[in-house]
């Protein structure tokens, strides 16, 4: 009895210390962000400024992958949406044999928590079974290599985490703070060739596209990035990217994607609109408030400063919300 009582006291003491540490850590991180973001003059600085000071409630809607789809449907129609097979707080109890052979599982309340189950995945890859904070990430798994129990455990881990602030030196990202965590199961969309579609990321300043980041080659270390202006002039060579395709083919739906990005970004000072070109036309990916949490490793100092100037110039005259 004494041992059990001592164990309970120790457990409560450790939890109290952890809670105190967490409270202090979060507030110190927020203070550090406020100090760093006070007077931005670069694009990365403006992203940090938005994280620190912009409390527009729409940011939470944009960041929530469930509500963002509703926003797109209201503004542009349902044809741009990838079909949801399931939206739930837990996959447990769901008859997974009802799912198609290929599908996508993702968390709605953060960036990068994704499992891509499809025939083109490398054979032998497995989902992690020993889980920790580092398992908030992207995985590509062949259907015959999918361990459903491992997927359940991974999605359960995602649900418990608040992407507002995760360890690893990043600053708090306010837009994620109050999102109701959900797991989304989507249809897998492919190109006319049956491959995973290229990801087109449109950086929008006051509803106009400044540049497009084109992500090809899949996820992780295999992915390739090109940077282009809206007229499809490639300026990747000016950045810190060194491995990228040359003479990238212009997508046949580029005009439609630009129009959709303008529609979705109307009334915002900045947002990134991610779209795909698929065998079923243009499809919506997500909206991003804080690209890379302001850590733009690809941008040279000159690019970061130039983007910062263009962002400032995009503000309407006498706009009081300008940082």
Say whether pLDDT at 14 is over 70.
no
Say if CB 285 and CB 274 are below 8 A apart: yes
Between 198 and 12, where is the model more confident? 198
Q: What is the pTM of this model?
A: 0.88
Q: How sure is the predictor about 188, in pLDDT bands with cuts at 50, 70 and 90?
A: very high
Q: How sure is the predictor about 10, in pLDDT bands with cuts at 50, 70 and 90?
A: very low
Give the separation between CA 219 and CA 168, rounded to whole angstroms. 21
For 143-183, the three-class secondary structure string (H helix, E strand, C coil) is HHHCCHHHHHHHHHHHHHCCCCCCCCCCCCCHHHCCCCCCE
Across all residues in the chain, what is the average pLDDT?
A: 88
Crossing angle for the helix pair 43-53 and 2-36, to the nearest 10 degrees? 130
Over the stretch 212-258, which tens digit does the pLDDT of each residue have? 999 997 666 578 999 999 999 999 999 999 889 999 999 999 999 99
Give the percent of the chain with pLDDT over 90. Answer: 73
The helix (run of H) or strand (run of E) holding residue 105 is: strand 103-107
SS3 5: helix
Say whether pLDDT at 29 is over 70.
no
Give the separation between CA 94 and CA 158, rounded to whole angstroms. 17
- The residue extents of the domains of the chain are 83-188
Q: Which residues pair with 273 in a beta bridge?
A: 202, 287
Residue 27 main-chain phi, psi, to 5 deg = -75, -35
Say whether pLDDT at 25 is over 60.
no
- Provide CB contacts within 8 A for 162, sequence distance 6+: 109, 176, 177
Say if CB 304 and CB 238 are below 8 A apart: no
Q: How sure is the predictor about 15, in pLDDT bands with cuts at 50, 70 and 90?
A: very low
Give the separation between CA 257 and CA 75, rounded to whole angstroms. 14
SS3 31: helix
Residue written as token pair 């529609």: 263
Say whether pLDDT at 317 is over 90.
no
Q: Which pLDDT score, from 0 to 100, does residue 19 have?
A: 44
Give the separation between CA 323 and CA 306, rounded to whole angstroms. 16
Give the separation between CA 37 and CA 262, rounded to whole angstroms. 27
Q: How sure is the predictor about 23, in pLDDT bands with cuts at 50, 70 and 90?
A: very low
Q: Which pLDDT score, from 0 to 100, does residue 165 have?
A: 79
Q: Which pLDDT score, from 0 to 100, does residue 38 have?
A: 76
Mean pLDDT of the 165-186 span = 85
């Amino acid at each position: 009895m004494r041992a059990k009582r001592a164990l309970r006291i120790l457990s409560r003491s450790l939890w109290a210390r952890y809670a105190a540490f967490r409270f202090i850590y979060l507030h110190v991180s927020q203070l550090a962000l406020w100090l760093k973001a006070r007077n931005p003059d670069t694009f990365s600085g403006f992203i940090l400024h938005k994280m620190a000071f912009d409390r527009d409630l729409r940011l939470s809607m944009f960041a929530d992958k469930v509500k963002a789809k509703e926003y797109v449907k209201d503004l542009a129609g349902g044809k741009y949406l990838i079909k949801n097979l399931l939206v739930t707080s837990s996959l447990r109890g769901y008859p997974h044999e009802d799912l198609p052979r290929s599908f996508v599982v993702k968390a709605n309340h953060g960036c990068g928590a994704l499992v891509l189950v499809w025939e083109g995945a490398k054979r032998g890859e497995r989902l992690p079974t020993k889980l920790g904070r580092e398992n908030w990430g992207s995985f590509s798994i062949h259907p015959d290599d999918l361990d459903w129990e491992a997927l359940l455990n991974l999605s359960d881990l995602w649900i418990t985490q608040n992407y507002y602030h995760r360890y690893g030196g990043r600053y708090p990202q306010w837009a994620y703070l109050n999102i109701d965590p959900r797991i989304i199961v989507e249809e897998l969309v492919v190109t006319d060739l049956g491959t995973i579609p290229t990801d087109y990321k449109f950086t929008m300043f006051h509803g106009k596209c400044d540049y497009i980041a084109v992500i090809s080659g899949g996820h992780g270390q295999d992915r390739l990035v090109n940077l282009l202006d809206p007229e499809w002039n490639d300026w990747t060579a000016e950045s810190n990217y060194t491995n990228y395709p040359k003479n990238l083919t212009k997508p046949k739906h580029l005009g439609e994607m630009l129009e959709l990005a303008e529609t979705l970004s109307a009334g915002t000072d900045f947002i990134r609109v991610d779209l795909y070109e698929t065998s079923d036309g243009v499809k919506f990916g997500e909206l991003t408030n804080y690209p890379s949490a302001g850590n733009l490793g690809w941008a040279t100092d000159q690019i970061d400063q130039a983007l910062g100037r263009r962002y400032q110039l995009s503000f309407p005259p006498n706009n009081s919300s300008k940082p």
